[in-house]
Amino acid sequence: MGVDRDYKCRVIKPDDFNEFWGLVIDELAGIELNIVCEEDKLRSDENTTVYQVFFDSLDRVRVSGWYSVPNSPKERLPAILLVPGYQSDPPIPKDWSAKGYACLSINPRGKVRSRNQFDPGYPGLLTHRIVDRNTYSYRGFYADAWRGVDFLLSRKEVDSDRIGVAGSSQGGGLTITTSAMRKEIKAASAGAPYLCGFMDAIELTDTYPYQEINDYLRINPDSSEQVENTLAYFDGISFADQISCPIIINIGLQDNVCPPETGYSLFETIGSNDKKLFEYDGHGHEAGRYVHSAIIDQFFDEHLKR
């Protein structure tokens, strides 16, 4: 199937987009982090100390993460916020620490170890309370990722001027929203970005997880307009013009999960003057990972390491 590189997603950024998210940011600011950071001796090794992290986020939901730090750093460290895929379990990011970064791998609400207060399940998360933007699952989910930046800023070993964000698939989508909303982010790498061009993606693909929305609309055909209205507030493309940091995007032209058309449309919308798109023909949702990993490493080295 040929890919239209000039494809434009139909989402229109709502007029009150900034007002909506401004209220969320204000609400988040009023909630203490209440950080617990416990060393996990089982997962730590001679090079890296791994911590289990817990803190409060929107609606006082307790979210967790894995925090990994190189042992005995000689100076303050650059840091990476690693944001997770949709159905995969957030990894312990020892590989990032081996490259010299402090790294928080966050488990937003509903993910493993962050399920006690909120757990719509999989499938389920993508359409949970979708008819109201004020109760939609991703309102809190996005805020949890942004809260990860606050955690990193609280760490004395982290250089607050050298924080990046990275992820693929849903992690790619969260990279977009986080780099748009948190100006502390100095570099961003988004792979195969999900949560971008929702209403186009459900027509371009016939695969889960986007199929969850089609499932929902099949049962609730009268909710179509409400669903589209809600998703406009959560679409990565609506956030993208607010990104000002250097950013790289990689997409697979045979991506069967996050259609490449939405990647092109997203890329055009990104506000940063320092943006680059890597297209991998012959690749699916892994979006050329085996080649692109080295590019990501080099990108963060250039932007976050002195």
Partner 1 sequence: MIDNRPIDFGQFWYSLGKELSEIPVAAETEILQMRSTDFADLYGVHMSSIGPYKIYGYLSVPKGDGPFPVIYYVPKNASVLEIIPQGTSNQIRSRYITFSVACRGMRTSDSPYSAMYPGQLTDGIESMSTYVYRGIVADTLRGLDFLLTFPHINKSSIVAWGNDNALLAGALHGAVTHIVSTPSFLYDSIQQASQTSSYPLEEFNDYFRLNPEKRDEVSKILAYYDLKFHASAITAETLIMADHEGGLHDSKTLSEFKENMSGQVTLHTSERSSYRDGMFAEEWVTEKLFGHDVAPIVPNHWKSE
The residues carrying an active-site annotation are 169, 255, 285
Q: Which part of the chain contacts partner 1 (CB under 8 A), choosing from 26-34, 54-62, 71-79, 213-221?
A: 213-221
Host H or E run for residue 54 = strand 48-56
Distance CA(195)–CA(171), nearest Å, equals 9
Toward partner 1, which CB reaches closer, 225 or 290?
290
Give yes or no for residue 294 binding partner 1 (CB under 8 A).
no
Nearer to partner 1, 17 or 208 (CB): 208
Strand partners, 164: 80, 187
Alpha-carbon distance of 274 to 248, in angstroms, equals 8
42 near partner 1, rule: CB under 8 A: yes
Decide if residue 120 touches partner 1 (CB under 8 A). Answer: no
**Nearest distance from C-beta of residue 296 to partner 1, angstroms:** 16
Among 133, 155, 283, 303, binds partner 1 (CB under 8 A): 283
Would you say 156 or 218 has its CB closer to partner 1?
218
Calpha distance 157→209 (Å, rounded): 38
8-state DSSP, 253: T
> Among residue numbers 66 through 95, which ones bind partner 1 (CB under 8 A)?
86-89, 91-92, 94-95
Q: Is 191 in the site for partner 1 (CB under 8 A)?
A: no
Among 184, 228, 255, 279, binds partner 1 (CB under 8 A): 255
Q: Determine the Cα–Cα distance for residues 39 and 37; give it in Å rounded to an integer.
A: 7
Which residues from 221-240 bind partner 1, rule CB under 8 A?
none
Q: Which two tokens stand for residue 285?
A: 């949702």
Question: Is residue 109 close enough to count as binding partner 1 by CB under 8 A?
Answer: no
In whole angstroms, the minimum distance from the beta carbon of 149 to partner 1 comes to 25
**Interface with partner 1 includes 121 (CB under 8 A)?**
yes
Q: Cβ atoms within 10 A of the Cβ of 87, count?
A: 13
62 interacts with partner 1 by CB under 8 A: no
Minimum CB distance to partner 1 smaller for 16 or for 206: 206
Closest separation between CB of residue 256 and partner 1, Å? 4
Q: Are 58 and 31 in contact (CB under 8 A)?
A: yes
Rounded distance between C-alpha atoms, residue 242 and residue 271, angstroms: 6
Segment interacting with partner 1 (CB under 8 A) among 19-27, 118-126, 158-166, 238-246: 118-126
- Give the whole-angstrom CA distance, residue 252 versus residue 192: 7
What angle, rounded to 10 degrees, do the helices at 137-153 and 17-29 form? 50
Minimum CB–partner distance for residue 204 and partner 1 (Å): 7
For partner 1, the binding residue among 29, 72, 75, 282 (CB under 8 A) is 282
Q: What is the dihedral of CA 283, 286, 292, 294, to 10 degrees?
A: -140
How many Cβ atoms sit within 10 Å of the Cβ of residue 84?
23
Dihedral pair phi/psi, residue 27, rounded to 5°: -65, -40
Give the chain's radius of gyration (CA, Å): 18
Q: Rule CB under 8 A: which residues touch partner 1?
A: 1, 3, 41-43, 45, 86-89, 91-92, 94-95, 98, 112-113, 121-123, 204-209, 211, 215-216, 218-219, 252-257, 259-260, 282-286, 289-290
